[in-house]
Amino acid sequence: MPRKPVPRKQSPARAAGLRTPSWVGWLFVAPALGVYAVFVLRPIALTVQYSMYRWDGIGPSTWAGLGNYVRVFTDPDLFASILNAIKLIVFFSVIPVVLGLAIASTIRRIAASRLALVARTVLFLPQVIPLVAAGIAWSWLMSSTGLVNQLLAYVGLESVARAWLGDFSTALPAVGVIGAWVLLGLCTILLLSGLSKIDPALYEAARMDGAGPLREFVSITVPCLRQEIGVCVTVTVIAALASFDIVYVSTQGGPGNATMVPGLEIYYLAFSERQVGMASALAVVLMVLVILVALPIQWLTKDRSS
Amino acid sequence: MSRRTRWNGAALAVVMGGALAAGCGAPGGDAPRPEATGASLAAAPTCGTAPVTLNAYIETGFPLPKELSTEFSKQHPNVKWNIREDQFAVITQNAPRVLADDPPDLMRLPQVSELVKNNLLKNLDGYAKAFGWDSWPASQLEQMRMAPGGKTRGEGSLYAMGLNFSMTGVFYNKKLADKIGMSSPPATLAELDDALAKAKSAGITPIAQFNGGATGGLAFPLQDLMAAYGPSGPINEWIYQKPGATIDTPSNLQATRHLEKWIKAGYFWKDVNAVDYATMMSRFIKGEGLFMFNGDWESGNLDKQMPGDVGFFLMPPAQQGGKQAAMSAPLTYGISSRAKNADCAAYFLNWVATDPKAREIGVQVGGSHPMGPADAPMPEVSEGTVTASTLAAGAKIAEDNGSMDFIANATGAIYAKSWTPQLQKLVAGQQTPEALLKSVQSDYTSQVKGS
User: Using one digit for the tens of pLDDT, what is the confidence trace for A4-51?
Assistant: 555 555 555 555 556 778 888 889 999 999 999 999 999 999 999 999
Identify the pLDDT of residue A1: 47
**Minimal-distance CA residue of chain B relative to A65:** B26
Sign of CA dihedral B171, B176, B177, B180: negative
B283 and B320, same domain (yes or no):
yes
Taking CB atoms and an 8 Å limit, are A49 and B23 in contact across chains? yes
Residue B262 located in a structural domain:
yes
DSSP H stretches of helix in chain A: 12-15, 24-36, 42-50, 67-74, 76-89, 95-109, 114-128, 131-141, 147-154, 171-195, 200-208, 213-216, 222-224, 226-241, 245-250, 262-267, 276-300
Largest CA distance in chain A: 86
Q: Is B114 within 8 Å of A61 when comparing Cβ atoms? A: no
Distance of CA B409 to the CA centre of its chain: 7
The CA distances from residue A114 to A10, A104, B159, in Å, are 53, 15, 68
Helical residues (DSSP H) of B171-319, grouped into ranges: 174-179, 189-201, 219-229, 233-239, 250-264, 277-285, 299-305
Q: Which of B112, B269, B424 to probe by mutation at the A interface, max A CB count within 10 Å?
A: B424
- Domain identity same for B172 and B296: yes
Determine how β-strand B79-86 pairs with β-strand A53-54. unpaired
Does residue B23 lie in a domain region? no
Same domain for B428 and B336?
no
Same domain, yes or no, for B177 and B249? yes
Report the SS3 class of residue B26: coil
Q: Mean pLDDT in chain A?
A: 88
Tell me the residue type at B229.
Answer: Y
Residues B146 and B80 in one domain: yes
Are residues B278 and B376 located together in one domain of the fold? no
Q: Per-residue confidence at A304, pLDDT binned at 50, 70, 90?
A: low
In a domain, B278, yes or no: yes
Contact residues, chain A, for B120 at CB < 8 Å: 58
A4 phi and psi, to 5 degrees?
-85, 135
DSSP bridge pairs for B153: B146
Q: What is the pLDDT of residue A168?
A: 92
Residue of A163, A82, A248, A258 lying closest to B431 (CA atoms): A258
User: pLDDT for A130-181, tens place per residue?
Assistant: 888 989 999 999 988 889 999 999 998 888 888 899 899 999 999 999 999 9
> Rounded to an integer, what distance in angstroms lies between the CA atom of residue A255 and that of residue A259?
7
Residue pair B322/B399 in contact by the 8 Å Cβ criterion: no
Chain B hits for A143, Cβ within 8 Å: 271, 274, 279
Q: Under an 8 A CB cutoff, do B274 and A275 touch?
A: no
- Report the alpha-carbon angle A19-A22-A28, nearest 5: 115
CB pairs under 8 A between A and B: 149
Cα separation, B148 vs B125, whole angstroms: 13
The beta-carbon neighbor of B28 closest among A34, A61, A273 is: A61
Residue B230 is assigned to a structural domain of this protein? yes
Using CB atoms, which residue from B274, B417, B422 is nearest to A163? B274
Rounded CA-CA distance A73/B258 in Å is 37
**What residue ranges of chain B have pLDDT lower than 70?**
1-24, 29-40, 450-451
Domains: count for chain B: 2
Name which of A57, A144, A275 is nearest B271 (Cβ-Cβ): A144
Which of B20, B121, B268 to mutate: most A Cβ within 10 Å?
A: B20
Residue B192 lies in a domain: yes
Contact B274 A143 (CB under 8 A): yes
Same domain, B186 and B160: no
Using the 3D structure, point to which of B368, B389, B410 is the last residue of a domain. Answer: B389
Would residue B56 count as lying in a domain? yes
**Contact of B369 with B394, CB cutoff 8 Å:** yes
**B20 vs A contacts (CB less than 8 Å):** 41-42, 45
By Cβ distance, the residue of B4, B96, B420 closest to A22 is B4
What are the backbone angles phi and psi of residue B106, rounded to the nearest 5°? -135, 135
Q: Is residue B179 domain-shared with residue B123, that is, in the same domain?
A: no
User: Do B334 and B410 lie in a common domain?
Assistant: no
- pLDDT tens readout for residues B31-70: 566 555 566 677 788 898 899 999 999 988 788 899 999 9
Amino acid sitting at position A177: V
**Helix crossing, B433-450 with B250-264: angle to 10°?**
130
What's the CATH code of the domain at B370? 3.40.190.10
Task: Say if the Cβ atoms of B428 and A168 lie within 8 Å.
Answer: yes
Tell which phi-psi region holds residue B296, choosing left (phi > 0), alpha (psi between -120 and 50) or beta: alpha
Q: How far apart are CA A255 and CA A64, in angstroms?
A: 32
DSSP structure string for B433-451: HHHHHHHHHHHHHHHHHH-
Smallest CA–CA separation between B371 and chain A, in Å? 29
In terms of pLDDT, which residue wins out, A62 or B375?
Answer: A62
One domain, residues B354 and B294: no
Q: Nearest 10 degrees: CA dihedral of A85, A90, A96, A101? A: 140
User: Domain limits at B341?
Assistant: 41-166+329-389
Residue B36 within a domain: no
What's B291's DSSP letter? E
Looking at the predicted complex, does its ipTM rise above 0.90?
Answer: no
Is the domain of B136 the same as that of B239? no
Neighbours of B179 (CB within 10 A): 14
Say if B10 falls within a structural domain.
no
Q: Which of B359, B389, B419 is the last residue of a domain?
A: B389
- The DSSP result for B317-351, as a single string, is PSSTT----EEEEEEEEE-BTT-TTHHHHHHHHHH
Question: How many whole angstroms separate alpha carbon B449 and alpha carbon B428?
Answer: 31
Residues B351 and B371 placed together within one structural domain of the fold: yes
Are A92 and A176 a contacting pair, CB within 8 Å? yes
Q: Which of A42, A143, A275 sits opposite B450 (nearest CB)?
A: A275
Among B357, B389, B421, where does a domain finish?
B389
Average pLDDT over residues A252-263: 91
Model confidence, pTM: 0.85
Chain A residue closest in CA terms to B95: A271
Return the DSSP state at B207.
B
Amino acid at residue number A99: L
Residues of A in contact with B112 (CB under 8 A): none
Residue B23 confidence (pLDDT): 47
- Shortest distance, CA B219 to any CA of chain A (angstroms): 14
Would you state the pLDDT for residue B108? 94
